[in-house]
Structure 1
Amino acid sequence: MLVLIFAAHQMVMFSATWPAAVHRLAQEYMDPNPVKVVISSEDLAANHDVMQIVEVLDDRARYERLAAFKISLHWLNRMGSI
């Protein structure tokens, strides 16, 4: 798809993170002399006190899981845990 875009067009990429795969994609398809805008510092790291959980669900299960998650947040909030 990217090869069909005219050379005269401007392409812009936004990312909170810049993983190696995204960097390679940018190098391959974008201007060889990109402008990089960094807000704050490139030396920032993720907060190690934040736990990220990824659940891979099929389409049918995701709405049920979301409903269960909302219920658990409701009860945790009522108990003063969050």
Structure 2
Amino acid sequence: MLGKYLTVVYFTSELFSDASVMNLVFDGEMVSAFVETFTDYFSEPVDLLFIVLAIVSAWQIPGRMAKTSLASDASSSDHAPRA
């Protein structure tokens, strides 16, 4: 979604040469216009595919990080000196 928004901002800044990209990113009118036309930017099936892939990836990352953290904790405790 952020990529779509930044793309819209970039091409809008190209149309209006007096507007800089950074000024448009935080412009309230730009955000409002993007929200009003939100469904137009995500109407293609490929867009929906990428949204689903992003959600699945975001859902899996914390679980994988937790498993990696637990595995590294277990391996570091295996190397601890024994009394």
Q: Fold-level match, TM-score > 0.5?
A: no
Larger RCO (CA within 8 A; separation ≥ 6): 1
> Rg: which structure is higher?
2
